[in-house]
Structure 1
Amino acid sequence: MHSPSTSLAYRAAARLAAAMAPGLARSRPKLRAALAGRAGVLDRLAEWARGARDPARPLLWMHASSVGEGLQAEIVLKTLRAAHPAWQIAYTHFSPSAEALARRQPADVADYLPWDRPRDVTAALDALRPTAVVFCKLDLWPELATRAAARGVGVGLVAATVSRQSGRLRWPARRLLRPGYAAVTLAGAVAEDDAARLAELGVPRERIEITGDPRYDSAADRVHAIPPDEPLLASCRGGPTLVAGSTWPEDEEALLRAFAAVRAARPDARLILVPHEPTPEHLARLEELARSAGLEAPARLGGSAPTAALLVMDRVGGLATLYAGATIAYVGGGYGTAGLHSVVEPAACGVPVLFGPRWRSSRDAAVLLEHRAAAVVSPKFPDWLDLDSGSTHAGANPLAAIWLALLRNPGHARAAGRRALACVEEGLGGAARSARLVERILASAR
């Protein structure tokens, strides 16, 4: 197979991005954390390889950018580790929010992804000597993909999904990234439309297969692993609780206004906010938003389990457990520009799911809506709920109206939760199919 190479324009863009990053990081804490974590990564990978790399054993290098992709990768790696205990596994991530998840991956070594520049990629490949490099979802890096392919290393994609709105489909990204996609040995697409868009990006169509989404297996696996005596579950007791996960300021403003209206009608109602980025600045702003809505400042959940009416999680982690104890789930990202976060996690817990009006880039949200397991926050009420039961105290607030209707119709809420769980169960199997695809990628490597 001919091995494509990146263009001079891509290499210049990669060098420019690396050069500009320190300056941009001064005002961006997340980027600053990423740069600090990435410092010395090549030395750390080389040190591990000198002491632990066994060239007689295959090595799979799996890359997943952030937490969502990392959870998809994790269930595939668990499947592969059980089937191939002799394999060595290297795992890389891009976002600092994925550091904790990276440490718990079933991998021999886990670290940040080196910069996608020729010298960095060459050094990493020389150290790890992978049999295959597999990218999760869509975070494929062209320099790594093309240089790996040139060495006879298998290159793959699992859980690959490309939304219609993806910037990768537009110029100039599409042209700059195309050599990386052309280097792919096999790609496992979530669905047919993803396969078509992968082909647009440059993956040869005959190398694309439909393998489904490991996200369903991952969510189900994590729910089943929650112990009944998990302390966080206690925070959902004391009244019907809406758990709002992966929220952004736009979500929180809508939620707090709605909660004030809901509490007027149902004083036993409770709200737990789990911000996507629980920075001190974000948490301070949340307190201001709560007071402006006429509410007390939220109590910090932290590692304990208070039962105040309004709580906020002040650390990353624990969202799946909170969803498991929820009466209703709200998934953030549907109001601003961040994009809707995963609706599969709460669905796997068997609870009805709510989200904001900007949801159309989420296939999973569409599935839940089609099966009457979710509701969009909009003036148009879902047909499986009684409008009158939520409208009396909600006024013109559609989120409060839906919230109250679910509280006043617990049978409808439980039925929607059962339908949500059925959607997840229907989607199981993507992890096993993705693992089999990875096995074939390693087998094809020269």
Structure 2
Amino acid sequence: MMWLYTFLVLIAQVVVRVLGLFNPKLKAFIQGRDQLKNELKSVSKNERWIWFHAASLGEFEQGLPIMQAIKNKYPDYRLVVTFFSPSGYQIRKNHPLPDAVHYLPWDTPWDVRRFLNTYQPEMAFLVKYEFWPNLLDSLYARQIPTFLVSGLFRPSQAFFKWYGGFFRKRLRTFTQFFVQTPASEQLLRNIGIQNVRCSGDTRYDRVQATVDRFEPFEGFEAFTQGNRVLVAGSCWPPEEALMFRFIEEHKPNLKWIIAPHRLDAASLNTLEAAMPKPCVRFSKRGQANLHEAKSILVDTMGYLSRLYAYGNMAIVGGGYGTAGLHNILEPAAFGLPVIIGPNHQKFPEAAALIEAGGCFEAPDYEAFAASLNRWVSNEALCQQDGMNSRNFIINHQGATAKVMTYLEFFLTQITH
């Protein structure tokens, strides 16, 4: 069965190379893996390495609290981080915490072997749901302790189907699972996986760290002073259409910070033309009169989590499409109530925050407008819903500490 899987990976390589001729993101995906061979030649052989793998930016943020804790507790180790997607790699390749950042090698025995021979990691951490069969088998064969952190499982996954034997076998290669929810823990136990702990989601620790270490943007107080602000984070066209219809019909006394998911020039120009005027691009904020501005268009990645600090309420994108809901914990950490679309079933934090009274699902425009009007017309109610969000984050801290407690015990056991 493994030979067939590897053959399919080789077929996928050919297909992706052809598609990469027409798609810039796939082209970066290919080029990054082609460059990996040369990057590995410069790796020091005299270091002790721990490997973290994240699919993309969101998973990197999930793994970051554990990376930081390991760096603090075990400074002799160096950290290598790999990404599956170009978006995660491009944004975080120069992050100061990891000592090395690469694309994940192709999941073939020889590509994985080259990577492991180079780094010889003493431990490997995979974040949320990364299961690469050749990679996992190679880690297991080399007896490298392998951990899944902030894992999330659903009954619809192949592991839990009658035809999922090949995939279930890969789960046996993990040393320990740290999962987000009791439901995920029970799913694993039902198929005989007992080395699992429900530790929670490390993103709660991550967003709290953003609050604790908040660095303000110079001059931004001029924009917010005496005004209430709505921050729209990682929004797609459906959220944008709802916002602009609401602005047109209700003309709310708000200022707007809009951070779209799409940052290509055409999308930014279209969005800017529709935003309340005067509109200032975030990248040009130093040259503008922020006090007079009615809206800010965030045309640069990497700043959204801090921008929520300047808001009173938030809209988070992804809930009206199939790409996935974006991070609702970031605005909640700063005490903002949140509106999302109805497609959030794969994100348990959404249902939990809705139940806590800090998040509101708007399946259509009428529900969207009603939720916003509640906050626009009643500032005290907006603040109460925001406090619900803030308390929700506070009450879910501690996943990183649980992982580190186990890890300290584990390292003590294997070194004695």
Superposition TM-score, scaled by structure 2 size: 0.90
Q: Give CA-to-partner distance per residue, 1:176-219, whole Å, 9 cap, x none.
A: 5333322111110111111233457x7x5221111111100000
Stretches of structure 1 that go unaligned for 5 or more consecutive residues are 1-5, 380-395
State how far apart, in whole Å, the 2-side matches of 1:230 and 1:11 are: 52
**Is 1:277 equivalent to 2:255 in the alignment?**
no
Letter in 2 for 1:240: R
Q: Pick from 289, 302, 308 the counterpart of residue 283 of structure 2.
A: 302
**Is 1:63 equivalent to 2:48 in the alignment?**
no
How much does 1:444 deviate? 6.7
Change (3 A) 1:109 1:34: same
**Is 1:10 equivalent to 2:1 in the alignment?**
no
> Any idea what SS the aligned residue of 2:42 has?
helix
State how far apart, in whole Å, the 2-side matches of 1:175 and 1:297 are: 59
Change (3 A) 1:12 1:79: same
State how far apart, in whole Å, the 2-side matches of 1:105 and 1:438 are: 23
State how far apart, in whole Å, the 1-side matches of 2:112 and 2:25 are: 23
Could you tell which deviates more after superposition, 118-127 or 279-288?
A: 279-288
- Report the equivalent of 1:83: 73
Change (3 A) 1:122 1:188: same
Change (3 A) 1:249 1:441: farther
Q: Is the 8 A contact 2:278 2:293 kept in 1?
A: no
Q: Is the 8 A contact 1:258 1:397 kept in 2?
A: no
Q: Pick from 347, 369, 373 the counterpart of residue 354 of structure 2.
A: 369
How much does 1:117 deviate? 0.9
- Report the equivalent of 1:216: 204
- Report the equivalent of 1:156: 147
- Report the equivalent of 1:190: 180
- Report the equivalent of 1:397: 366
- Report the equivalent of 1:106: 97
Q: Is the 8 A contact 1:217 1:429 kept in 2?
A: yes
- Report the equivalent of 2:113: 122
Q: Is the 8 A contact 1:242 1:326 kept in 2?
A: yes
**Is 1:24 equivalent to 2:15 in the alignment?**
no
Could you tell which deviates more after superposition, 114-123 or 279-288?
A: 279-288
Q: How does 1:368-387 map to 2 (within 5 A)?
A: 368-378=353-363
Change (3 A) 1:196 1:282: farther
State how far apart, in whole Å, the 2-side matches of 1:65 and 1:421 are: 28
Change (3 A) 1:165 1:312: farther
Change (3 A) 1:231 1:38: farther
How much does 1:324 deviate? 0.9
State how far apart, in whole Å, the 1-side matches of 2:153 and 2:337 are: 26
State how far apart, in whole Å, the 2-side matches of 1:376 and 1:147 are: 43
What fraction of aligned residue pairs are identical, expressed as a percent? 28
How much does 1:171 deviate? 8.0
Letter in 1 for 2:343: R
Q: Pick from 312, 326, 338 the counterpart of residue 323 of structure 2.
A: 338
State how far apart, in whole Å, the 1-side matches of 2:219 and 2:209 are: 19
State how far apart, in whole Å, the 2-side matches of 1:436 and 1:234 are: 45
Could you tell which deviates more after superposition, 253-262 or 154-163?
A: 253-262
> Any idea what SS the aligned residue of 1:133 has?
strand
State how far apart, in whole Å, the 2-side matches of 1:167 and 1:237 are: 52
Change (3 A) 1:444 1:32: farther
Kindly report the root-mean-square deviation, in angstroms, between the aligned alpha carbons of the 2 structures: 2.6
Q: Which has the higher contact order (CA 8 A, sep 6+)?
A: 1
How much does 1:257 deviate? 1.7
> Any idea what SS the aligned residue of 2:22 has?
coil
Change (3 A) 1:11 1:147: same
Change (3 A) 1:248 1:439: farther
> Any idea what SS the aligned residue of 1:81 has?
helix
State how far apart, in whole Å, the 1-side matches of 2:366 and 2:71 are: 49
- Report the equivalent of 1:383: none
Q: Give CA-to-partner distance per residue, 1:84-130, whole Å, 9 cap, x none.
A: 11112211111222233242152221111111111100000100011
Change (3 A) 1:254 1:229: closer
State how far apart, in whole Å, the 2-side matches of 1:169 and 1:261 are: 48
How much does 1:165 deviate? 5.1
Could you tell which deviates more after superposition, 68-77 or 430-439?
A: 430-439
- Report the equivalent of 2:402: 433
State how far apart, in whole Å, the 2-side matches of 1:142 and 1:199 are: 21
Stretches of structure 2 that go unaligned for 5 or more consecutive residues are none
Change (3 A) 1:180 1:308: farther
Q: Is the 8 A contact 1:102 1:110 kept in 2?
A: yes
- Report the equivalent of 1:358: 343
How much does 1:281 deviate? 3.5
State how far apart, in whole Å, the 1-side matches of 2:139 and 2:205 are: 29
> Any idea what SS the aligned residue of 1:188 has?
strand
> Any idea what SS the aligned residue of 1:156 has?
strand
Q: Is the 8 A contact 1:133 1:145 kept in 2?
A: no
**Is 1:46 equivalent to 2:36 in the alignment?**
no
Letter in 2 for 1:409: N
Superposition TM-score, scaled by structure 1 size: 0.84
Letter in 1 for 2:94: R
Could you tell which deviates more after superposition, 230-239 or 14-23?
A: 230-239
Q: How does 1:174-253 map to 2 (within 5 A)?
A: 174-198=164-188, 204-228=192-216, 230-231=218-219, 235-237=223-225, 239-253=227-241
